[in-house]
Structure formats: C-alpha cells, structure tokens
Amino acid sequence: MWSNNQWQQSFYGRGTQPSQRLEKYASVFHTVEGNTTFYATPNATTVKNWHAATHDEFRFTFKLPQHITHQQMLQGCQSELKSFMAIMEPLHERIGQWTIQLPAAFGPQNLEQLTRFCALFPPSFPIGIEVRHPAFFAKGDDEKRLNQWLIEKGFDRIIMDSRPVFSEQLTATHPHYESLLDAQQKKPKVPVHAIATGNNPLIRFIGHPEEALNHSFFTPWLTKLPKWVAEGKQPYLMIHTSDNLIAPELAAKLYSQLQLHAELPDLTEFPSSRGDAQIQMF
C-alpha cells in the first residue's frame, strides 16, 4: 500500500495531502503491491493519476480482481479480464507483475484452468502466481508439476513468508493481539518454498508489529536475495506488518541489511525527514 493515515507523521510528514502520497512514496520505494485492484477495479481517471504520480522506473504489482480469481476460479472470464486490462492500459509499461492470487480451494485439479487462463495474456506480460492449496507445498508430484510449468513459461511463483505473525501464541492481553489475530485469520500459514521459477521472484514478507522480532525470520533472505541478484534476476520484496504501522521503517531497515550482502543503491530519505510536507505548506 502507499496510503495509510498512520504514516502521516512517521513517513509522509504533516501537511501531506492524500493525493500526494503515491508521488512521495515513489520517491523512496520503487515498487508497491496494489492490493486495491483485488477488491475493485479503479476508474480511468484514478489510473491516469497513478501514472502521473510515479516515474518510469517505478513498478506496480497489481492483483487481478477477486471476481476473476476467486469467484469465477479463472473460468469464463475472458471479457472481464479484457475490460480490466483496458482500464489499466496507461500503467502497462510500469507493471512489475500481474498477480494471480488463487484461493486455497484452487488445487491440482484446477491446473488446466490456470494454464488456459494464462494463455490469454500476451507473452510480454509479466505474471506472478500465488497458490495456497496444501498440495502445492507438499513437495510431491502436484507441486513438481506446477513448478515445472511455471519454469517453462517463465512465470514467477509468489512466495508467502508469514512466519513472523504465526511465531507467538496469542492471548487477549498481548499488546498487538487484534492485528496479529486478524493476520493469522487472513494470511495463509504455508511453508516458505524459496524457489525462483522466473526472473522476478516476489516475496511477501508478513512481519511482526514489533520490529526486532522480524530479523531472525528475515536472515535466510539475506543469502537468498543477493544470490538471485547475482544470477541476474530482479526480485521484488514486499514488506508488510500485521497492522502495517511500521511497514516503511521495517522495509528500510531490512533493505539496509541487504546492502551488507549485495551492492544496492541507497534509499532516499523519508519525506518526513526531508521536510517535503513543510515546504509545500508555504
């Protein structure tokens, strides 16, 4: 996300208007997971505004609408996909991945639906697929069949790392009880299979709201991500927390750790540190 009211003080700075947030976000981070399209297709004006607020090196990873992925299970939705892509056309050159997030009910028996659906996309469109069915994490023939097909097509298997939010036994007195409980109910508890089936492996790291509790879980990525970069891949790393209040700070901290293991450019200071908002007030 890029629009969170709680970031007004910590990330954006006082005086920043909601309409300015994406532009300021894009001045620091160079990619964002566009979850909003999962729930509703934006109108043409909104898409044009998103284009105007970003630069040519910025990349969106938009989820396909849930009507296509969850309600229709990728069947009989060619017209809906065409309409969605037409609305999003101004941003096609700034797409890191089109994310196909599939429900847990979408299993090995549905793979043919997935292959037919993905054939609707032009070859140049980057596709990331997130599966949640247990069979795709069992290291058996079903998972091998999925991974082999992804590798053949060059599609990326999206990697969910939700270990931090499942790391504690919750009680009603826990200081982050509500946000962690919500995350545990909504996020899948699946094994972390760190496989790059395409050139843009995408990791969704669902962090704990207490920053220090994330670092041990992130340690394996300090080896894996630089290895992929050295191989010429361009990974995407999406940092969440259960309430997302410290997500920008956690992302910057984890990025600084990655810089110790790979040659990566510095991030720009947060807008609140640069005084951007105060300047625009006068």
Alpha-carbon distance 166 to 243, whole Å? Answer: 14
Residue 147 confidence class, pLDDT cut points 50, 70, 90: very high
Q: Let me know how long the chain is.
A: 282
Instruction: Give the model's pLDDT for residue 112.
Output: 96
pLDDT at 220 over 90: yes
pLDDT digits (tens, 9 = 90+) for 96-133: 999 999 999 999 999 999 999 999 999 899 999 999 99
Q: Within 13 Å, how many C-alpha atoms sit on residue 31's CB side?
A: 19
State phi, psi for 232 to the nearest 5 degrees. 90, 10
Q: What is the DSSP letter of 9?
A: I
pLDDT digits (tens, 9 = 90+) for 163-181: 999 998 888 889 898 999 9
User: What residue spans define the domains of the chain?
Assistant: 7-280
Instruction: Give the model's pLDDT for residue 276.
Output: 64
Q: Output the pTM of the full model.
A: 0.93
For residue 202, what are the contacts with CB-CB under 8 A and spacing of at least 6? 61, 96, 97, 99, 128, 156, 158, 159, 235, 236, 237, 238
pLDDT at 282 over 90: no
Residue 244 confidence class, pLDDT cut points 50, 70, 90: very high
Q: What is the mean pLDDT of residues 262-271?
A: 94
pLDDT digits (tens, 9 = 90+) for 9-33: 899 998 899 999 999 999 999 999 9
Instruction: Give the model's pLDDT for residue 278.
Output: 47
User: Which tokens sit at 270?
Assistant: 């947060």
Q: What is the arrangement of strands in the sheet containing 127-130, beginning at the earlier edge strand?
A: 31-34, 59-63, 95-101, 127-130, 156-157
pLDDT at 8 over 60: yes
- CATH T-level fold of 7-280: TIM Barrel (3.20.20)
CA-wise closest residue to 147 among 180, 194, 202: 194
Q: What is the mean pLDDT of residues 270-279?
A: 72
State which amino acid sits at residue 119.
Answer: A
CB 88 within 8 A of CB 47: yes
Helix (H) or strand (E) holding 255: helix 247-258
User: Which tokens sit at 78?
Assistant: 């060619």
pLDDT at 140 over 80: yes
